Structure 1
Amino acid sequence: MLIDSHCHFDFDIFDDQRDVLMTQCENHGVLGFLVPATTCLSWSKLQALAAHYPQWRAAYGLHPYFLRESQLAEIDLLGDQCEAAQAIAVGEIGLDCWPGSVDINIQIDFFSRQLLVAKSLNLPVILHARKSYDLVFKCLRETKFKRGGIVHAFNGSLEQAKRFIDLGFVLGVGGTITYSRAKKAHRVLNALERSAFVLETDSPDMPLNGFQGQINTPLSIPIIAEHVAQIRGETERQITAQTYANLLRVFPKWHEGLL
């Protein structure tokens, strides 16, 4: 079963085409979607959509890049939201050191508090870690978070990959690996154990090679699986089966109610 382990299918840009895309995805074998929230204001819409589409699984959190729209008091609501909406993870949370991001100390405060919420609920997390792996590791250690999850859009070294894997995480592999210039990402992907990664699109962002300037959708998952198979010298069937098994290991309740 092909799964998009990270897509923002709840974003407004999909409102006019969501049903059509869902049908197209089913026709192309993409049968499951993990949709992480970005802001507190998005939680109710995501919850309603996840209830409408049984193929969806939802995570709730406060994305580091959008913290200018957030308040610490919203974290007090996060645990109740996750329980009420039967979230399978807390996310998308983490640290973003890209220019223009919110002050890193504010990000660390939000991130650490959300890790503690996830820890209290025994939920995995969906990590956003852009140019911030060392700081993310530090927060994981300081909060003693050991439940694992997914490192979204991983693009670090093999050593960094192994550190996350040792903490129970799998690595999100997406459109980056479709670019021939992504040599480091190819080397790391080729060196990973089969149990170490899952497939994702980050729709509507992170377009694949040849699709620059277009809205990315979960329909890209079969193309990503094809490239992963080529890079690793495996079959697409092997990649599909293994990444699904990896997802079930990290999210053992995923299959409940999934078509």
Structure 2
Amino acid sequence: MQFIDTHCHLDFDEFKGDFQNLVYRANRLGIQGFVVPGVTLKQSLTLLDFKQHNPGVYIAFGLHPYFMAEHREHDFEQLKSLAIEHRKQLVAIGECGIDASIADLEKQQTLFVGHIKLANELSLPLIVHHRQSHHLIMQAFKQVQPKWGGVIHAFSGSLQQAQAYIKLGFKLGVGGTITYERANKTKQALAQVPLDSLVLETDAPSMPLAGYQGQINLPERLKAVFDCLVAIRNESEPEIAKQVYASSCSLFKI
């Protein structure tokens, strides 16, 4: 079985010094590709070199809402210029979105709409972050409809919300959330949506799985996420593996 971790931050400081072993352990479990999103202007720039020196890494440019306090007035315009210049190096625009735990929701909304327009211009999918903001995400999608879909990162929500995203051409990012017993609503939704609407992710080094709370999350734990997905789906393990891999390749044109 082959897998792609469609969302992990392998360039973060937590992985410096052990990066090759990290990738080796993941590869041994069939995890052959890693999509690494951008979070700030400066970090997005460094991803170009990171990709060049690490086979199997695919990158995206974006301004993450979590870092709103760091984003400066002209950062998005610079990011846009860089994305246009390096279009062939990118598989998506993001990580972008709206986070209700962070201040300046109006500014977040404006920035997110800018990302949607940029993705449309470059014919790229979006990597969308949400936190208590499904309604705000959908408002942005009504303002500017995304033309190339994307992935709703770390999806947690109802079947109705899942179906609304799928209708707009989005995949749902299946991550560590489904390893927790309390995530019944999300697991029920992911059990019922079409299999081809799902992709796997870890968000490493963040979002530790159940049993690993307080520890750095690792790409190799994608296999544990996959096992939990198999447990809630009706399809066979090989069928699920084949489809989520195909969906990941198709979405990001890998």
Give the structure-1-normalised TM-score. Answer: 0.93
Output the amino acid matched with 1:158.
L
**Which aligned pairs between 1:126-141 and structure 2 lie closer than 5 A?**
126-141=127-142
Contact 1:65 1:102 in 2 (8 A): no
**Which aligned pairs between 1:184-199 and structure 2 lie closer than 5 A?**
184-199=185-200
Question: What is the rounded CA distance, in whole Å, between the counterparts of 1:238 and 1:9 in structure 2?
Answer: 28
Question: What is the rounded CA distance, in whole Å, between the counterparts of 1:114 and 1:186 in structure 2?
Answer: 29
Contact 1:72 1:110 in 2 (8 A): no
Match of 2:176 in 1: 175
Match of 1:65 in 2: 66
| Residue deviations 1:85-113 (CA, integer Å, cap 9, x gap) | 61110000000002xx1210111111111
Question: What is the rounded CA distance, in whole Å, between the counterparts of 1:239 and 1:5 in structure 2?
Answer: 16
1:88 aligns with 2:91: yes
Match of 1:238 in 2: 239
**Which aligned pairs between 1:120-159 and structure 2 lie closer than 5 A?**
120-159=121-160
Q: Secondary structure at the match of 2:74?
A: helix
Question: What is the rounded CA distance, in whole Å, between the counterparts of 1:175 and 1:147 in structure 2?
Answer: 26
Question: What is the rounded CA distance, in whole Å, between the counterparts of 1:66 and 1:28 in structure 2?
Answer: 33
Tell me which stretches of 4 or more aligned residues in structure 1 moved more than 4 Å.
Answer: none
Contact 2:99 2:130 in 1 (8 A): yes
Question: What is the rounded CA distance, in whole Å, between the counterparts of 1:239 and 1:60 in structure 2?
Answer: 29
RMSD: 1.2
Match of 2:21 in 1: 20
Match of 1:257 in 2: none
Give the structure-2-normalised TM-score. Answer: 0.95
Output the amino acid matched with 1:247.
S
| Residue deviations 1:211-251 (CA, integer Å, cap 9, x gap) | 11111010111111111001113333222211111112222
Question: What is the rounded CA distance, in whole Å, between the counterparts of 1:114 and 1:68 in structure 2?
Answer: 18
Q: Secondary structure at the match of 1:92?
A: strand
Q: Secondary structure at the match of 2:189?
A: helix
Contact 2:123 2:147 in 1 (8 A): no
Match of 1:212 in 2: 213
1:97 aligns with 2:100: yes
Question: What is the rounded CA distance, in whole Å, between the counterparts of 1:104 and 1:175 in structure 2?
Answer: 26
Q: Percent identity?
A: 40
Question: What is the rounded CA distance, in whole Å, between the counterparts of 2:97 and 2:213 in structure 1?
Answer: 26
1:197: how far off?
0.8
Match of 2:8 in 1: 7
Q: Secondary structure at the match of 2:69?
A: helix
Q: Structure 1 regions of 5+ residues with no counterpart?
A: 255-259
1:57: how far off?
0.5
Q: Secondary structure at the match of 2:50?
A: helix
